């Protein structure tokens, strides 16, 4: 590895301070380093995040899971290892505590950390033959109503065949990584990230028989809005557009993966026990 890109959480002084310290540490060891310009860190080399992700051999995230998802979105189908340094409590994705940032960065630069290859979803919003919105997501694509809208009828087809119609406030189409995000709060199952699958979780369904559905990664999922109402499609919580009657959301696995470096000092169940307080009374 020769070039390291640093993606700090925007607006956090402690992340900016660590970014400056990390740039100096890398320079002393002969590595090139640049900080995402959008973070506004002064006194260090900076560049737009998308330019950094296009050239870096390693991305270091200084923040939380949301910052790591942002970094994954910058990669634009390029599989760059990401080292997630959590600046608060242990995260689902940002596994490395900030006090261990430099020893673990040293291991990453030496190629001593294993990468978890996380499935991503390719999403398109279509009206007939027109593609209105497209992108790849690490967590989820969400179809949801606004505060004043009524229940929506969402027709779900799998591989071109009608599977079900959800009468609900919306629908979450999630990756295994996203199964511990919004989908979990909507009573979706937890899927370990080393399993490839696509998860469909209805939001506040009208009947209790409408349950989450897990389909294989080979599936092509189509969600059609079959009722009038004010609905919205959001990709990883960062990009979106309104969804109109008859428009469709097409989802399938993306050709690229997000490479998240694993902390050898914890495993996925350690994270689940701490974050979800498994076993606590």
**Catalytic entry in 13, 65, 159, 196:** 65
d(C-alpha 143, C-alpha 7), whole Å: 29
13 given a catalytic annotation: no
d(C-alpha 246, C-alpha 223), whole Å: 10
Strands 161-168 and 152-158 turn out to be: antiparallel
Which is nearest to 119 in space by CA: 56, 167, 182, 191?
191
Q: From residue 164, how far is each of 23, 36, 202, 225 by CA, in Å?
A: 52, 43, 11, 12
Q: What is the CA radius of gyration of the chain?
A: 20
DSSP state of 108: H
Give residue 51's region: left, alpha or beta (phi > 0; psi -120 to 50): alpha
Residue 100: exposed, middle, or buried by beta-carbon count in 10 A (0-12, 13-18, 19+)?
Answer: middle
Which residues does 180 contact at the CB level (< 8 Å), separation at least 6?
A: 92, 190, 272, 275
Catalytic residues: 65
């Amino acid at each position: 590895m020769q070039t390291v890109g640093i993606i700090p959480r925007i607006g956090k002084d402690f992340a900016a301070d660590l970014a400056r310290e990390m740039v100096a540490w890398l320079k002393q060891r002969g590595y090139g380093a640049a900080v995402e310009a959008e973070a506004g860190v002064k006194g260090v080399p900076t560049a737009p995040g998308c330019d950094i992700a296009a050239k870096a051999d390693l991305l270091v995230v200084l923040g939380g899971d949301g910052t790591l998802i942002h970094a994954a979105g910058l990669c634009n189908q390029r599989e760059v290892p990401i080292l997630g340094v959590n600046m608060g409590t242990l995260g689902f994705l940002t596994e490395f505590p900030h006090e261990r940032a430099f020893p673990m960065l040293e291991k990453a630069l030496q190629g001593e950390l294993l990468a978890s290859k996380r499935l991503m979803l390719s999403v398109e919003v279509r009206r007939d033959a027109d593609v209105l919105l497209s992108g790849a997501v690490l967590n989820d694509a969400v179809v949801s109503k606004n505060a004043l809208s009524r229940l929506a009828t969402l027709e779900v087809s799998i591989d071109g065949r009608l599977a079900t119609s959800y009468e609900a406030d919306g629908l979450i189409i999630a990756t295994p990584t996203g199964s511990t995000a919004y989908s979990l709060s909507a009573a979706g199952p937890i899927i370990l990230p080393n399993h490839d699958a696509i998860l469909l979780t209805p939001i506040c369904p009208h009947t209790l028989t409408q349950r989450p559905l897990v389909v294989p990664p080979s599936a092509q999922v189509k969600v059609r809005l079959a009722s009038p109402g004010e609905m919205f499609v959001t990709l990883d919580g960062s990009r979106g557009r309104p969804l109109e009657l008859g428009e469709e959301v097409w989802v399938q696995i993306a050709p690229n993966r997000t490479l998240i470096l694993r902390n050898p000092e914890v495993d996925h169940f350690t994270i689940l026990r701490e974050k979800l307080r498994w076993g606590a009374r």
